[in-house]
Amino acid sequence: MINDIVRDAQARMQKSTEALVENFKKIRTGRAHPSLLDAVQVSYYGSPVPIMQVANIMVEDARTLTIIPWEKKMVPEVEKAIMKSDLGLNPNTAGDVIRVPMPALTEETRKGYIRQARSEAEAAKVAVRNIRRDANGNFKDLLKNKEITEDEERRGETEIQKLTDKFVAEVDALLAHKESDLMEI
């Protein structure tokens, strides 16, 4: 019973860190990376679809993405979707190839992105701590219903605390890596 609660908490904490990694992908660094456009939705025959379902996205050089839509008539739709996204990118079209240059990050922009990364990391830490609270609450309920002993409750809480410390440290490491990426010129 205790092991089930610990396993569930570990799985939920892992999902929180995976969500943080996905959120970090949306924060633009100075380098071009295809995952930058993962959140962009393109209108394809009236229904929104992810950009990678209508086009091939490649890295041309360190600061340029090249997008080649599979259908020529999708070029203006893809271009419009990139402009509408909140990524601050301005695509250039040459025939049926769209090039998206990554603008250089100013110091002010970098600091803004770091603030955003820190708030995402803090949200992930709060999620991990909430999972700890839920698991500890489950232990208290089991103790109250006399399904486990006090020693088992303490052992479970200790395991949950170790998990929490591990995942908070992982979040801190992810944040440090993202900050170093953002400060790289």
Measured CA distances, 75 to 59, 94, 107, 158, 173 (Å)? 18, 10, 33, 56, 39
| One domain for residues 118 and 170 | yes
Taking the mean position of all CA atoms in its chain, how far away is CA 124?
10
Burial readout 58-80 (b: 16 or more C-beta within 10 A, e: otherwise): eeeeeeebbbebeeeebbebbbe
CATH classification at residue 117: 1.10.132.20
pLDDT tens, residue by residue, 95-112? 888 888 887 778 888 888
Q: Which pLDDT score, from 0 to 100, does residue 43 have?
A: 86
Amino acid symbol at 97: V
Cβ 79 vs Cβ 93: under 8 Å: yes
Task: State which H helix or E strand residue 107 sits in.
Answer: helix 107-144
What is the total count of domains within the chain?
A: 2
Same-domain check for residues 149 and 130: yes
Do residues 114 and 182 touch, judged by C-beta distance below 8 A? Answer: yes
Containing domain of residue 85, as a range?
A: 34-101
pLDDT of amino acid 185: 61
Per-residue confidence (pLDDT) for residue 7, from 0 to 100: 92
Regarding whether 172 and 113 lie in a shared domain, the answer is yes
SS3 letters across 1-47: CHHHHHHHHHHHHHHHHHHHHHHHHCCCCCCCCHHHHCCCEEEECCE
Of 43, 71, 101, the position where a domain reaches its end is: 101
Write down the pLDDT at residue 25.
Answer: 79
Distances (CA, A) of 6 to 38, 123, 126, 153, 157: 33, 21, 18, 12, 9
Are residues 73 and 20 part of one domain?
no
Beta bridge partners of 44: 47
Of 83, 101, 119, which one is at a domain's C-terminal end? 101
Q: Which residues of the chain have pLDDT under 70?
A: 30, 185
**Residue that has been written with the tokens 């990364």 in this structure:** 117
pLDDT of residue 78: 87
User: Do 141 and 175 reside in the same domain of the chain?
Assistant: yes
Whether 59 and 80 map to the same domain: the answer is yes
